[in-house]
Structure 1
Amino acid sequence: MSGDNALEGDKSEGNALEDCTSEGYHHAPIIGYHRAPLSQKFGAPRQPNLVALTSVIEMLAPYNTPTAFVGLEAFSHIWLSWQFHHNYLSKASHANKNGHINKTQDSFRAQVRPPRLGGNEKIGVFASRSMYRPSGLGLSVVKLERVEVVEGRVLLIIRGADMIDGTPIIDIKPYVAYSDAVIEAKSGFAPTAPALLDVTMTESAYEQFMTLINVEQVKIGQSDKTNHQDVGTKNATVSSVVCKMQSQLLISDIDSIKALIAQDPRPAYRRTEINAAFVMRYKSVDVSFQLLESGQLQITAIVEVN
């Protein structure tokens, strides 16, 4: 749940999350960026591992050296510490004359309204996973599919992230089941995963998607195929891997789109609106959907982003 263009484009070595000199701030370098099908907050899973989306962490120098990841593939899951950079508090942050990021004293929100409680009931921010928190940091455990070295640089192929494209990564640690998994833990107001809604797709929306798939295949066939090699092949490039995650449409994306919409990304206060149109951006397309009187969510259109 995160992709500010300014941050996404900044790959300078030692880029800091909070480069402040005043007491009370901790310096944390951005070590990589998350590359994913979702470029906007709307539609992103609210928790990790609810939707098995595949995505990539593109490591930055000097943190992208393969030796830094020796032994990591022995772990099935990893912890990711990352930055919420698409909330309005992050965007409202301003730089002083020395380039240091300052946040106003009134930016702290002591209470939030979790969607899980209908968006009306308030709870303390520290009893939530809200993005509007003092540190602006998120924490997720995801499945590590594999560690790839492409063009001498490390890419982590992961599954189940709740982050969007361009999310800055602050740290990576292995998930250790015997200490990290607490079987008897209580989960407060969220004891179980949220119920999924049924999702259907109109015939016209399916035809729109298949047309876009066919156009995509033609483009690939007419271009230099080495620019579209899958990760793991000898001819793969960092740009081709990122392109596939960010924009290249696949048949399997239909299932991913339905799984995301089944989580019901709509604001809690609008979940009773029948036939109201909502749009979720996925890769290179905008997916329109609405609530039917039957209680199903229906995908009505899939159009290419202009």
Structure 2
Amino acid sequence: MSCQPVSPLSYHVAPIIGYHHAPLSQKFGAPRQPNLVALTSVIEMIEPYNTPAAVVGLEEFSHIWISWQFHHNYLHKDKQANKADSSFRAQVRPPRLGGNQKIGVFASRSMYRPCALGLSVVKLERIEIIEGRVLLIISGADMIDGTPIIDIKPYVPYSDALPEAKSGFAPSAPALLSVTVTEPAYEQFLQLMVDQSANTDKQNHNKKQKSHEEKTDSKKEKTTVTAVIDTVKKQLLLSDFDAIKALIAQDPRPAYRRKEANTSFIMRYKSVDVSFQMLVLDELQITAVVEV
């Protein structure tokens, strides 16, 4: 005898335990799978799950599983708005197959799925307890900024890693494209980085001056949760340019537009918009970097 659900509208409600903070605030440019680009990001735990006691022992693991929500998924937004377009879609068109061939949604890792949930293995760089709150510093995530976190579990290689497993239509990582940079684009990035650093130094100086005037302890500047998150989300570093090139090498363009030469695409990274285009097949070029 088969077990039928009580109602076709039955849902399991999962609590949000934290939020992901990352350099990428838009879906365009985000890696399509985890660990393709070693981007540093932060998971900020929220009450009541941000107690340090909840992560005791987690530092012993190098990698963790993250269950998360596709919060930019238009199907999820349609459900919230009670639109008819939120009905179940049995098939999707994976970019890996050129964006034209359909397969079953459960044979894919598409974001457009009934539960709107993602699952990723990421590297746990370290755990920081700041102001009594828990921050997980991770790398390799395929999540964008603001992603709600549903659960965290340790990654255990002896049971989670299966080297003999078959990978269907995605047997290996996609080939990377060659990425070049125009000299003006690189100079634009460097100037924005310098300007941003100077502005940050000025703000820090003003804060220290105000702190001294209020006769508070100004001998040692304390790290705050906001400072850690702002560094990940906004502050440009020289290493960010390598990250930008690595993201573009994954070719974030829609599959059906990958033959368009000299067409400009824009990827938002931290506080800048990066313009790039295809010069010849399999070669992309960064042409401009402008402040948002």
In the superposition, the TM-score normalised over structure 1's length comes to 0.86
> Could you tell me which residue of structure 1 aligns to residue 263 of structure 2?
276
CA contact (8 A) 1:49 1:162 kept: yes
Instruction: Give deviations 1:237-267, integer Å, cap 9, x for gaps.
Output: 0100111111110000000000000000000
CA contact (8 A) 1:227 1:237 kept: no
User: CA shift at 1:220, angstroms?
Assistant: 1.4
CA contact (8 A) 2:188 2:289 kept: yes
Structure 1: distance between partners of 2:103 and 2:204: 54
> Could you tell me which residue of structure 2 aligns to residue 78 of structure 1?
64
> Could you tell me which residue of structure 2 aligns to residue 237 of structure 1?
224
Instruction: Give deviations 1:42-63, integer Å, cap 9, x for gaps.
Output: 0000000000000000000110
Larger Rg belongs to: 2
Structure 1: distance between partners of 2:171 and 2:250: 16
> Could you tell me which residue of structure 2 aligns to residue 187 of structure 1?
167
Structure 2: distance between partners of 1:298 and 1:64: 42
What amino acid is aligned across from residue 255 of structure 1 in structure 2? D
CA contact (8 A) 2:22 2:232 kept: yes
Query: How many residues are aligned here?
Result: 275
Which one of the candidate residues 267, 289, 293 is aligned to 2:276? 289
Structure 2: distance between partners of 1:235 and 1:225: 14
Structure 1: distance between partners of 2:76 and 2:158: 35
Q: Percentage identity across aligned positions?
A: 72
Q: Secondary structure at the match of 1:93?
A: helix
> Could you tell me which residue of structure 1 aligns to residue 29 of structure 2?
43
CA contact (8 A) 1:227 1:240 kept: no
Which one of the candidate residues 108, 131, 139 is aligned to 2:111? 131
The alpha-carbon distance between structure 1 residues 147 and 289, as it changes in their structure 2 partners (threshold 3 A), is: same
Instruction: Give deviations 1:19-63, integer Å, cap 9, x for gaps.
Output: xx9862101000000000000000000000000000000000110
What amino acid is aligned across from residue 66 of structure 2 in structure 1? L
What amino acid is aligned across from residue 271 of structure 2 in structure 1? S
> Could you tell me which residue of structure 1 aligns to residue 20 of structure 2?
34
User: CA shift at 1:223, angstroms?
Assistant: 1.2
User: CA shift at 1:88, angstroms?
Assistant: 1.0
Instruction: Give deviations 1:161-200, integer Å, cap 9, x for gaps.
Output: 0000000000000000000001110000000000000101
Instruction: Give deviations 1:118-172, integer Å, cap 9, x for gaps.
Output: 0000000000001111111000000000110011100000000000000000000
User: CA shift at 1:107, angstroms?
Assistant: 2.1
> Could you tell me which residue of structure 1 aligns to residue 40 of structure 2?
54
Structure 2: distance between partners of 1:27 and 1:113: 28
User: CA shift at 1:226, angstroms?
Assistant: 10
Instruction: Give deviations 1:89-108, integer Å, cap 9, x for gaps.
Output: 1222226xxxxxx6758521
Q: CA RMSD in A?
A: 1.9
- 5 Å-filtered alignment, 1:258-273, equals 258-273=245-260
Q: Secondary structure at the match of 1:166?
A: coil
> Could you tell me which residue of structure 2 aligns to residue 211 of structure 1?
191
> Could you tell me which residue of structure 1 aligns to residue 212 of structure 2?
none
> Could you tell me which residue of structure 2 aligns to residue 115 of structure 1?
95
In the superposition, the TM-score normalised over structure 2's length comes to 0.90
Residues 1:156 and 2:161 aligned together: no
Which one of the candidate residues 254, 260, 265 is aligned to 2:241? 254
Structure 1: distance between partners of 2:221 and 2:202: 20
> Could you tell me which residue of structure 1 aligns to residue 125 of structure 2?
145
Structure 2: distance between partners of 1:189 and 1:226: 56
Structure 1: distance between partners of 2:281 and 2:111: 33
